[in-house]
Structures are given as C-alpha cells and as structure tokens.
Amino acid sequence: MTNLHRRRALTLLGGFGAAIMLAPSAAFAFSVDKARKLIDDVIADIMKIINSSKSEAAKLRDFEGIFRDYGDVNVIGQLVLGADGRSASSSQKRAFAKAFQGYISRKYGRRFQEMAGGKVEIIDARAVKSFYEVTTKSIFVGQSPFEVIYVVSDKSGRFIDIKIEGISLIKSERSEIGAMLDKRRGDLDQLIADLKDM
C-alpha cells in the first residue's frame, strides 16, 4: 500500500478496530471459535451502522453505543494512557475512559461513510500463547484488499488490539494522546475536558 492508502486504511479501520476492541467478554473459557465469532458479530454490527440510511449524527450515536454496550472502556483507557496514566487517580482514569469513548467514536465514525458498500471477511483465527489472532481481509471500494489482524485476549475474551500492516491501533492512539497531553503540560484534567469537545 502507498503511504496515503496506509494512512487512509488506519483512519478507516481505526474506529472499526476501536469498537471491536471494546467488545464484551465471554462468560468463562475462551476459544478460537469464540474469538472468531466475537469479531464476526461486531463486524456485522458496525457494517450495519455504516450501510444504514441514518444521518451522520445518528450513526455516531450508534457507534458510541457499541462502545457503551459492549465495551470495557476503563481497560482501553488505561492501555491508551500507558505510562501517562500511572499517576492518575481512579476517578481521572474513569473520566478519561468516558471522554475517550466519545472522542474515538467521533474521530473514526466521521470517516465510516467511505466504507459503505465494502466488506470485511474473516480468513483465519488461531491461538497464539495467551491470546488469539483473528485475521481478516478488508475490501473497500477503490482500494486493493488488505489484511488486518485483531488480537483477542485469552484471559478476558476481549479484543485488545488491531494491527494494520503491523501498525498497532493502541500504540498509535497512545502516541497521539501522549502528544495531546504534552501540549497541556501533563494536565490530564484539561485533556479530559478537551476530548469532550473534539
């Protein structure tokens, strides 16, 4: 892929992966089949929103609903904050997770219309140590098909990362959030407030 297509794919698939990484955990023991079904179900839900005739505002609300209804946003918030979150209080971590939930749904959701008419196919699922890799092929109008790997935790049964050509969504968002925090001189409360308006 060219750099332009890579950036475009990251933007489009970022929100896609974001919703999936916040998917609900399985009841107890997890398996390759459950990991595969988890990704299949959430992809179906997201594509339903993308291909609906609803307004952009309604789609963004629906997309955030996936975060709210399926997600463990507190865990995702901690992963994205990384080292910057170590000194945060419990209330700050919760507030960040909630603000990040809205921010990420708006950031990626606005680009979803470019995925209308496309499809994502699961082509493989396998166990790798303490997690599962679910490999998909994404086919969007005007682009060559490309591979995306979703990583599902064996312990929680939750999606914990997405890799597009080896680029981790969590790491990309951690870098961006870290840069935002640096601009605010480490003021996490200010970042939380600003994320609500982005």
Six-digit token string for 151: 């990583």
Strand partners, 126: 133
How much is the average pLDDT of 86-90?
Answer: 90
Sign of dihedral through CA atoms 104, 17, 10, 180? positive
pLDDT in tens, 160-187: 778 888 888 889 999 999 999 999 999 9
- pLDDT tops 90 at residue 13: no
Q: Are 169 and 20 in contact (CB under 8 A)?
A: no
Strand residue runs (E) in 62-145: 119-128, 131-139
Q: Are 62 and 49 in contact (CB under 8 A)?
A: yes
What pLDDT score was predicted for residue 26? 41
How much is the average pLDDT of 46-59?
Answer: 89
What pLDDT score was predicted for residue 187? 95
Q: How far is CA 58 from CA 63, 105, 119, in A?
A: 9, 12, 21
Work out the pLDDT band at 27, boundaries 50, 70, 90: very low
Alpha carbon of residue 3 to chain centroid: 21
* 60 DSSP assignment: H
- pLDDT tops 60 at residue 15: no
Query: How many domains does the structure of the chain reveal?
Result: 1
What pLDDT score was predicted for residue 110? 81
Q: Which residues contact 25 (CB under 8 A, 6 or more apart)?
A: 72, 156, 157, 158
What pLDDT score was predicted for residue 21? 54
* 115 DSSP assignment: G
Q: How far is CA 6 from CA 114, 147, 198, in A?
A: 14, 11, 24
pLDDT in tens, 125-144: 999 988 899 999 988 888 88
Residue 102, domain CATH: 3.10.450.710
Distance separating alpha carbons of residues 90 and 129, to the nearest angstrom: 31
Distance separating alpha carbons of residues 46 and 18, to the nearest angstrom: 11
What pLDDT score was predicted for residue 5? 55
- Residue range of the domain that includes 76: 3-195
Share of the chain above pLDDT 70, in %: 83
Higher pLDDT, 197 or 18: 197
- Which residue in 19, 42, 8 sits closest to 115, CA to CA? 8
